[in-house]
Amino acid sequence: MDKLKMQTANKADENFKKLTEMFPNAVTETIDENGELVRAIDKDVLMQEISCKVVDGDEERYQFTWPDKKKSILFANASINKTLRPCKDESINFDNTGNLYIEGDNLEVLKVLRETYLGKIKMIYIDPPYNTGRDAFVYNDDFSMKLSDYNQANGLYDEDGNVMFDYRANNIANGRFHTDWLNMMYMRLKVAKDLLSKEGVIFISIDDNEVENLKKICNEIFGENNFVGCAGRITKKSNNKGDFWAPNFDYLLTYTKNRDMAEPFMGEANTAAYNLQDDEGPRAGEKYQLVRLYMSSLQNRNPEQRFWIDCPDGSKIIPPGKTFPPERPILGDGIWRWSRKTYEENIDKIVVKQVKSSNLIDENGNPAKWNVFTKTYLNDVIEKSSAKPNSFIESHINQLASHELNDLDIPFDYAKPSSLIKYLMNIAKVASDDIVLDFFSGSATTADALMQANAEDGGNRKFILIQLPEKTDEKKEAYKAGYKNICEIGKERIRRAANKIKKETAADIDYGFRVLKCDSSNMKDVFYNPSEYQPTLFTDLTDNIKEDRTPEDLLFQVMLDLGVELSSSIEETTIAGKKVFNVAEGFLIACFDNNVTEEVITDIAKQEPYYFVMRDSSMANDSVATNFEQIFKTYSPETVRKVL
């Protein structure tokens, strides 16, 4: 029973808590006038979060900083003028799939997705560059300080004016070795946090080159209280590399969006020792294991646990012993695990099987050819399990990934095994219809793992994969096999994995994916904000759409602007010769053709969509424009009408 506080709330505590939730990176500590350490809000960081320019500040405080950190905050918050263009030819089951494969710089794509997928992602897994000193740094984050200025200021030319290191590789000779990596990661994680649901969790693979720095920036972005662990993972069975230790493990940094709302991780049931079978009884479709009803280790004198059991051939069997019902058992007599009452109440879980031999006896005292088992359902074991997953992961080594890729004939180095992603989805309780995001998707392991999980339990989990179309090395096997960039590898891996899973399981799941490519806005170089346009402006606007953009391009930008999920169903129909898109079963209807007549407008209005969108220059004549509002007021007054 809760006690009444009998006093007003401490608003300072409430305000501090609200600021902590909104801006965890602004939480710090300082020394008060009495010399005591107290909580504080870094006003410079807070000002930077609400400013559209870099804020100067030099007050001493506890903080983790690096060059251009404030610019990272600025860039993460800044708007961009980008869109996602659909590519049907490279997609599978484009019109009906719930999965997305997006090509482009992941910072730009995350920003484009932010409003539509705000708070909708259950799990994020990323395997970013480890910053080993050998990484090619391909993310072109445009900070204002020119490289030539930096080089000149830091003496990075030799006496003859030659550059002393290759900046394109983020190697240790680069004076901004950690800085560039931190800026790259900070911005992307800051935007990604907004996409996580309140129960969401993010797993980040990293090695010891940047694990300390990564944890510090994650503490700022997600909040220290949302750090839930750092698991170690064996990466290979043996390794003789390294100057001192032979490195054979990496880490999984793990944060929740909101620790108080996130579900505790669930340990995996140990099913490796059992031959799981599909049930054909009342719980058809569930997995179970058979466990003997008699175990020799059970010995007591409870008469309720020593009774005859009928066999299919009419004989009876009982555990070994010297007494038989109704006599009371003596010490040494075998008993069943269950009493007669429990046995009768759970008869649907009993399996009596003929075996070559057992230690049970029949009515004549001879060894029985039958044994008795109980069904232990996997779902029941999982529900009752309170075990937490071990923070040292041994069974998902990288060699498994190599075998997977070889089986699919996909040339790719340094992938993670799909079993690792399935394991993370399992412990994080990623359920059917949840969305998993991977914005350093590489060879598309996450998509493979998710399809496997769906095939196993009939789920409908969805993936969003983001990958920069980084060119493949001409010396590598991938390039020689015809893959010109990493995205081509990832898409082909999904296609081949889908075919393999379908062939092996015959599962009726979503094997498709929509390919979208990040590009400049569909609008010409004028400020574009659809929410500010009204139908009354139809006659005042000129056509502001780029000539090379298709109706499908416009549709996806409209979906982004209106917050409609990009995996929503899309039905393409024709009304009076005009192409009309019906999205999410009538939630959005759009028509971008020219010369739209009253017939088309009336037909659409009668369908009563929540949104209707068209081009501002699409009206067939002045009469259509004049009657447009009246048509919707007559048939669908609640429809929100917008124009491009």
| 400-434 pLDDT per residue, tens | 888 999 999 998 888 899 999 999 999 999 998 99
Average pLDDT, stretch 521-542? 60
CA-to-CA separations, 588 to 362, 558, 610, 642, in angstroms, rounded: 72, 9, 6, 11
Among residues of the chain, what percentage have pLDDT more than 90?
A: 48
Out of 213-217, 237-241, 268-272, the most confident range is: 213-217
Say what the pLDDT of residue 392 is. Answer: 87
CA distance 587 to 582: 8
Average pLDDT, stretch 628-632? 91
Among residues of the chain, what percentage have pLDDT more than 70?
A: 82
* Cβ atoms 580, 589 nearer than 8 A: yes
pLDDT in tens, 182-209: 999 999 999 999 999 999 999 999 998 8
- Kindly tell me if the per-residue pLDDT of 252 is higher than 80: yes
Say what the pLDDT of residue 640 is. Answer: 93
Say what the pLDDT of residue 622 is. Answer: 83
Token digits for 441?
A: 């998707």
Say what the pLDDT of residue 156 is. Answer: 41
Average pLDDT, stretch 352-357? 86
CA distance 189 to 196: 11
* Weakest-pLDDT range from 2-11, 191-200, 482-491, 576-585: 2-11
Say what the pLDDT of residue 567 is. Answer: 95
Say what the pLDDT of residue 356 is. Answer: 81
Residue 447, C-beta contacts closer than 8 angstroms, at least 6 positions apart: 99, 101, 438, 441, 463, 465, 490, 493, 494, 497, 513
CA distance 409 to 492: 10
HSE at residue 374, side-chain half, CA atoms within 13 A, is: 17
pLDDT in tens, 515-531: 999 999 998 875 545 56
Amino acid at 634: T
Average pLDDT, stretch 380-397? 76
Average pLDDT, stretch 547-575? 94
Say what the pLDDT of residue 531 is. Answer: 60
Say what the pLDDT of residue 167 is. Answer: 38
What is this structure's pTM? 0.74
Phi (first) and psi of residue 554, to 5 degrees: -65, -40
- Kindly tell me if the per-residue pLDDT of 48 is higher than 60: yes
- Kindly tell me if the per-residue pLDDT of 11 is higher than 80: no
Say what the pLDDT of residue 342 is. Answer: 93
For residue 148, the SS3 value is helix
Average pLDDT, stretch 238-267? 84
* Cβ atoms 561, 116 nearer than 8 A: no
Out of 12-16, 498-502, 533-537, the most confident range is: 498-502
* Cβ atoms 255, 231 nearer than 8 A: no
CA distance 629 to 607: 15
Say what the pLDDT of residue 471 is. Answer: 92
CA distance 361 to 370: 9
Token digits for 583?
A: 């999205």
Token digits for 150?
A: 């930096």
Q: What is the DSSP letter of 215?
A: H
The closest of 223, 198, 191, 190 to 120, measured between CA atoms, is 198
Q: For residue 641, what are the β-bridge partners?
A: 612
pLDDT in tens, 456-497: 888 999 999 999 999 998 999 989 999 999 999 999 999 999
CA distance 251 to 365: 59
Out of 162-166, 373-377, 592-596, the most confident range is: 592-596
Burial label, 534 (beta-carbon count in 10 A; 0-12, 13-18, 19+): exposed
Rg for the chain, CA atoms, rounded: 32
The closest of 117, 215, 54 to 466, measured between CA atoms, is 117
Torsion-angle region of 192 (φ positive above 0: left; ψ -120 to 50: alpha; else: beta): alpha
* Residue 44 pLDDT class (50, 70, 90 cuts): confident
- Please provide the average confidence, as pLDDT, over all residues in the chain: 83
* Cβ atoms 583, 590 nearer than 8 A: yes
- Residue written as tokens 């919707």? 632
- Kindly tell me if the per-residue pLDDT of 147 is higher than 50: no
Say what the pLDDT of residue 286 is. Answer: 77
* Residue 153 pLDDT class (50, 70, 90 cuts): very low
Token digits for 325?
A: 């019902």
Say what the pLDDT of residue 600 is. Answer: 94
The closest of 259, 258, 236, 240 to 249, measured between CA atoms, is 236
Q: For residue 30, what are the β-bridge partners?
A: 38
* Weakest-pLDDT range from 33-37, 188-192, 275-279: 275-279
Residue 113, C-beta contacts closer than 8 angstroms, at least 6 positions apart: 195, 464, 560, 566
Residue 243, C-beta contacts closer than 8 angstroms, at least 6 positions apart: none
Residue 67, C-beta contacts closer than 8 angstroms, at least 6 positions apart: 176, 179
* Cβ atoms 562, 533 nearer than 8 A: no
- Around Cβ 185, how many Cβ atoms within 10 Å? 24
* Residue 542 pLDDT class (50, 70, 90 cuts): low
- Kindly tell me if the per-residue pLDDT of 359 is higher than 90: no
